[in-house]
Amino acid sequence: MGLRSEYSLVHSEFNEFLFAFVGEEKSGQPLTVLSALARLGLDPWDEAARLSEMTKEAATSALSAAIAGLPEGDWAAADSRSIASRLVGWLPRRGSASGESPQDRSGEGPQPKSDAPKWPAWVVFAVAILVLVMWQQGG
């Protein structure tokens, strides 16, 4: 039995949010949303789904309260609101006309993945190199 799609790390719509950087812990280790929510005893995927159903303001308030409950790292408790506001931007919006991430809206970030396999192009490239080498050797 496989994982439901929302729990699949490969295809989860919440990956950008869950793996977003919250801040640096006092030990110097980076803290992600996924780790922060798990440390608070929350299921990260359930919480991401719950937050994505809220308005941006409500989600920011809820996430801000959660961040304020974390042991402080390189952020102060007063920073929790601005951190939450930044992180909520990574949530997919349920029922919105656009499922764009903040990166898509700015024109930066990763390009959409192509479903086409890349191995045929590599085979053609290898054959072309082989023909070129054989031609140069006169064979």
Amino acid at 64: S
Tokens (6 digits) for 2:
């496989």
Express each pLDDT in 99-118 by its tens digit. 444 444 444 444 444 555 66
pLDDT over 90, % of the chain? 37
Distance of alpha carbon 34 from alpha carbon 49, whole angstroms: 13
| pLDDT reading at 41 higher than 60 | yes
**pTM of the complete model:** 0.60
**For range 13-40, the mean pLDDT:** 90
> Do the strands 21-24 and 30-32 form a parallel or antiparallel pair, or are they unpaired?
antiparallel
Q: Give me the phi and psi of 68, to 5 degrees please.
A: -65, -25
Express each pLDDT in 61-101 by its tens digit. 999 999 888 876 766 666 889 999 999 999 997 744 344 44
The CB-based long-range contact list for 42-46 (8 Å cut-off, 24+ gap) reads: 42/66, 44/14, 44/18, 45/6, 45/7, 45/12, 45/14, 45/18
